[in-house]
Structure 1
Amino acid sequence: MITEKFYPIGTPGKAWGEAERLEWKNKARIRRSYEDDVVKRITALKDRFRVSIYGMLSFNPDRYPLYYLRNQNWRPERPVILITGGVHGYETSGVIGALQFLEDEADSYLEHFNILSIPCVSPWGYETRNRWNPCAIDPNRSFYTLSRCEEASHLIQLLSSYMTRAHILAHFDLHETTIEDESEFRPALAAREGLEYVPGSIPDGFYTVGHTENPQLPFQKAVIQSVRQVTHIAPSDSNGKIIGSPAVQDGVILYAMKALGLCGGITNCRYHTTTEVFPNSPRITRQQCNDAQVAAITGGLDFIVRQELESGVCTAQVSHLRTF
């Protein structure tokens, strides 16, 4: 089908080839600094976290090393909390929220957990404010065996080494749903696939995406309750849906994480949530977006500690935990 409002790359009704993908890449421009915004904040944490490089992006390895952090006092007997941000590089609070959690809140949980964080999975996407990588591939549809996406394959390799010797209990994957999803990225996706662009809607507010095979709805509810102290939760539409998917409870939808190749399905953890903040809302500031990401993590972790304490997974006292 030919779209009436055609994206300005390629031929209507025809999927992109390598020439169109290269044209798309060449239109990208550096709009902010990975080094200044992200790497400097990562390296500033070296006194509290072990900072390592788990790969480099081949198209510019000197500019785009891939960093992960883990707490210095790593205890093999403790479960691991995984925090990922910037799978879609343009979703700013996913990156900054992960860093802010490490800077301000992580120490409160090290008596219970090991923390493993990859704050910026897609640094080229961060700098150019793009959803895709330079090959016009969406990293968050690429977490599967023999992935063609460098950002995804590097992270898969890193986590596979951890999963063989550590118990990853929870995964927080930090995202945004932005106005650019409809103004740029979904039209580009339709053009790339040679399909008609059908406009959608962007929910105004925060919501989470759980795993259809393991939704953990009480955990999702705790995340939502925590974020509600910072900003508003996205309402369901007149059909009871959020961004086209049925809301299973207030501010929560479910996706088939593994089947879709999403980062949220990269482990077999007990607890998972993908956060979604709407940074273009007139009701939220950029700092509140970052704070909402942090609140999602702390709310989820406080819930996990309460749930797991009796089973012996967490061994420390819980007097510092928040109540709502």
Structure 2
Amino acid sequence: MSDHYFVGEAGVPWGASEKSAWLAAQTQKRSYAELVEQRIHSLETRFNLEQYGVLSSADNNYPLYALTSRNWNSELPNVLVTGGVHGYETSGVLGALRFLESEAEHYAEAFNFLVMPCISPWAFETINRWNPEAIDPNRSFIADSPAQESSEVMGYLDRQGLSFLAHFDLHETTDTDNTEFRPALAARDAKPQDHWDIPDGFYGVADSSRPSPDFQKAIIESVAEVTHIAPSIDGKIIGVTLQQEGVICYDGIGLGLCMGVTDAPYVTTTEVYPDSSLVTDDDCIAAQVAAVKGGLNYLINSKVVA
């Protein structure tokens, strides 16, 4: 893959000059202020809004926001929803916002919510997986994180001192994973990357240390009412053996993934496929909301929530 990437020399890991060349090629393609911030501020009358940091880049400073339940009840379990860890994964951001706008208050008697709709605003604007330093935030939820996006989230959660029952981390898997982002990774690290077919449909990723299969199954069943579930290839999705239909497992904590940022027993990373000919952009957003609702309903119906 690295032989064909536009930055760097094949077989040589990137240094500062290659990362600078890559950054110089990135351009703003949409507005965080218009598409995300405005909707966040429109929710101020219904949720508590806090700016937990500022993401600084060469061209802009991006406020980072968290919204929490207006009537926080310490007797209720807490649920974390995160979107936009990878800024190019659009329905993760818009799905988190739509959940707040249309569904969160319906669950106010069962849960407290903390929602961070867009963790990587620079990447949202430039439609990128990486941050401006060519670092993947979703491999950077670790001590002394090299990614400001990740360290700001971890610092904020540490300051809150909360325990969570569940965490929904909203993502997408796109065609550009194979055409742009994996070739870029191969070039940056001078390491070949395995090729896999992009799954046509929704799938979920459980944390292998707390797989909670019934919780994952409820999410898949809820999403299936909105859009199609990704089929497996030889019992695998993106090269990983299925846990069950539409679900694989990753080592969330060991890989520094966002879904490993809390010790919540019920954790999932959603993966929507926006490039399918079978879905619209709105279907993808609806699938994210359905995933959260499916998980919450499971927690209520299975008596996990008193």
> TM-score of the superposition, structure 1-length normalised?
0.92
Per-residue deviation at 1:76?
1.6
Q: What is aligned with 2:104? A: 106
- Encode CA deviations 1:26-69: one digit per residue, 9 max, x unaligned: 10000000000000000000011011110001226963010010
Tell me if 1:261 matches 2:256: yes
Once the 2 structures are TM-superposed, how far is the Cα of residue 198 of structure 1 from its aligned partner?
4.2
Question: Is 1:47–2:36 an aligned residue pair?
Answer: no
Mapping of 1:1-324 within 5 angstroms? Answer: 3=1, 5-59=3-57, 63-162=61-160, 164=161, 166-237=162-233, 239-308=234-303, 313-314=305-306
Q: Which runs of 5+ in 2 are unaligned?
A: none
Q: In the alignment, residue 159 of structure 2 is paired with which amino acid?
A: S
**Rounded Cα–Cα distance in structure 1 between residues aligned with 2:212 and 2:187:** 36
CA gap 1:71/1:38 in 2 versus in 1, 3 angstroms: same
Q: Offset at 1:305?
A: 1.0
Q: Is the 8 A contact 1:191 1:197 kept in 2?
A: no
Residue 243 (structure 1) shift: 0.5
Structure 2 SS opposite 1:66: strand
Letter of the 2:206 partner, please give it. Answer: G
Contact 2:3 2:10 in 1 (8 A): no
d(CA) in 2 for partners of 1:137, 1:281: 27
Give the Cα–Cα distance (whole angstroms) in 2 for the partners of residues 290 and 215 of structure 1: 24
Following superposition, the deviation at residue 167 of structure 1 comes to 2.6
The alignment partner of 2:56 has SS state of: coil
Q: CA deviation at 1:71?
A: 1.1
**Cα separation, 2, equivalents of 1:209 and 1:131:** 18
For the residues of structure 1 that align with 2:37 and 2:6, how far apart are their CA atoms? 34
Residues 260-269 or 63-72, more deviating: 63-72
Alignment check: 8 A CA contact 1:142 1:148 kept: yes
**Quick one: structure 1 residues 115 and 12, their matched pair in 2 at CA, closer, same or farther if it must change by over 3 Å?**
same
> How far does residue 161 in structure 1 lie from its aligned partner after superposition?
2.0
Residue type of the alignment partner of 2:198: I
Distance change >3 Å, CA 201–CA 70, structure 1 → 2: same
How far does residue 72 in structure 1 lie from its aligned partner after superposition? 1.0
Contact 1:69 1:118 in 2 (8 A): yes
2:297 and 2:194 mapped to 1: Cα distance? 40
* Structure 1 counterpart of 2:184, one-letter code: A
Q: Check conservation: 2:2, 2:184, Cα contact below 8 A.
A: no
Runs of 4+ in structure 1 off by over 6 angstroms are none
TM-score, normalised to structure 2's length? 0.97
Task: Return the alpha-carbon distance in structure 1 between the equivalents of residues 60 and 277 of structure 2.
Answer: 38
Size of the aligned set, in residue pairs, is 306
Name the CA distance, whole Å, in 1 between partners of 2:39 and 2:303: 32
- In 2, distance between residues paired with 1:104 and 1:33? 23
SS of the equivalent of 2:93 reads: helix
In 2, the alpha carbon distance for the partners of 1:293 and 1:278 equals 11
For residues 177-227 of structure 1, give each alpha carbon's deviation from its aligned partner in whole angstroms, at most 9, with x where no partner exists.
000000000000000001234432100000000011110000000000000
Percent of aligned pairs sharing the same letter: 51
CA separation of 1:294 and 1:13: change in aligned 2, threshold 3 A: same
1:254-297 Cα distance to aligned partner (Å, 9 max, x none) = 00000000000000001001000000000011000000000000
